[in-house]
Chains A and B, each alone.
Chain A
Amino acid sequence: MHTKTLAELAAGLKAREYSSRELVQHFLDRIDWYNGTLNAFVTVSRERALAAADAADDRLAKGEGGPLSGLPIGQKDIFCTQDIKTSCGSRMLDNFPAPYDATVVTKLQDAGTALLGKLNMDEFAMGSSNETSFYGPVKNPWDLDCVPGGSSGGSAAAVAAGLAPAATGTDTGGSIRQPAAFCGITGVKPTYGRVSRWGMIAFASSLDQGGPMARSAEDCALLLQAMAGFDARDSTSVDQPVPDYSAALNDSLEGLRIGLPSEFFSDLDQRMAAVLDAAMNEYRKLGVEFKEVSLPNIGLSVPAYYVIAPSECSSNLARYDGVRYGYRCEDPRDLEDLYMRTRGEGFGAEVKRRILIGTYALSAGYYDAYYLKAQKVRRLIADDFKQVFEDVDVILGPTTPTPAFGIGEKTGDPISMYLSDIYTIAVNLAGLPGMSIPAGFIDGKPVGLQLIGGYFGEARLLNVAHRYQQVTDWHRKIPEAFA
Chain B
Amino acid sequence: MSLTIDEVLKIATLARIRIDENEAESYAQDLSGILDFVAQMSSVDTSEVEPMAHPLDLPQRLRPDEVTEANQRERFQAIAPAVEAGLYLVPQVIE
Q: Which residues of A contact B (CB under 8 A)?
A: 95-97, 99, 192-193, 206, 232, 235-236, 238, 297, 299-300, 302-304, 306-307, 314, 318, 321-326, 328, 332-341, 343-345, 347, 352-353, 355-357, 359-360, 363, 370, 372-380, 382, 414-415, 418, 429-432, 455
Q: Find out whether the CB atom of B17 lies under 8 angstroms from the CB atom of A297.
A: no
Which chain B residues in 9-65 approach chain A with CB under 8 Å?
A: 11-19, 27, 30-31, 33-35, 37-44, 46, 49-56, 58, 60-61, 63
| Partner of B18 from A335, A340, A360, A378 at Cβ < 8 Å | A340
- Taking a contact as CB atoms closer than 8 A, the residue among B16, B60, B81 that contacts A340 in the complex is B16
B interface secondary structure, majority = loop
B: residues with CB less than 8 A from A are 3, 8, 11-19, 27, 30-31, 33-35, 37-44, 46, 49-56, 58, 60-61, 63, 72, 75-76, 78-82, 88, 90-93
* Contact pick for A357, options B19, B31, B92, B93, CB 8 Å: B31
> Besides A335-B93, A353-B30, A380-B46, 13 other CB < 8 A contacts?
A206-B54, A235-B60, A304-B38, A306-B38, A321-B16, A340-B13, A344-B17, A352-B19, A353-B34, A360-B35, A382-B52, A418-B37, A431-B54
Q: Please list 19 pairs of residues, one from A and one from B, whose beta carbons are closer than 8 Å in the complex, sorted by A's number.
A: A96-B79, A99-B72, A206-B53, A297-B44, A303-B37, A306-B34, A323-B90, A325-B80, A326-B81, A344-B17, A353-B34, A355-B15, A356-B8, A356-B31, A375-B52, A376-B46, A378-B52, A382-B52, A415-B34
Measured between alpha carbons, how far is A370 from B80 in the docked complex, in Å? 36
Q: Out of A304, A328, A343, which one reaches B16, CB within 8 Å? A: A343
* Residues in chain A near residue B50, CB distance under 8 A: 376, 379
In the complex, are the beta carbons of A380 and B44 less than 8 A apart? yes
Q: From residue B16, how far is it (CB to closest CB) to chain A in Å?
A: 4
Chain B residues near A325 (CB-CB < 8 A)? 76, 79-81
- Using Cβ atoms and an 8 Å threshold, which residues of chain A touch B34? 306, 353, 357, 414-415
Is B49 touching A359 in the complex (CB atoms < 8 A)?
Answer: no
In the complex, are the beta carbons of A322 and B81 less than 8 A apart? yes
Is A235 in contact with B46, judged by CB distance below 8 angstroms?
A: no
- From known contacts A206-B55, A373-B41, infer whether A97 and B79 are also in contact, taking CB-CB under 8 Å: yes
Contacts of B54 in A (CB 8 A): 206, 236, 431
